[in-house]
Amino acid sequence: MSFYTFMMRNYKGTDSPEGDLAADMARDKDSFPRNCTGKFKARHRLIREHLERHNACKACLAVFEKCWEEYVQCEKNRLKRNS
């Protein structure tokens, strides 16, 4: 699952900083790196750089980092279950 899909499924429509990030991502769906390939580190860097290029504030970047950690853990658990 992509980070974009993770955010839409878990946070879109919620009244929280995570929900705000998901809403921003949905509004930016045409340019947000939604289907990144490669290792987690490369995907993280691509998304982080995108947020920084679009002048994301420090609070937004902190929420991204928190959500990214949740996403990575979710994906690792999913991959473990499927192997």
Summarize pLDDT for 45-79 with one digit per residue, the tens. 999 999 999 999 999 999 999 999 999 999 999 88
The pLDDT of residue 40 is 85
Distances (CA, A) of 43 to 15, 76, 81: 26, 15, 22
At residue 22, φ and ψ (nearest 5 deg) are: -60, -40
pLDDT in tens, 5-37: 999 999 999 999 999 999 999 999 899 998 776
Decide: 43 and 3 in contact? Cβ < 8 Å: yes
The pLDDT of residue 39 is 85
**Global pTM?**
0.90
Q: Domains in the chain and their CATH numbers?
A: 3-81 (1.10.150)
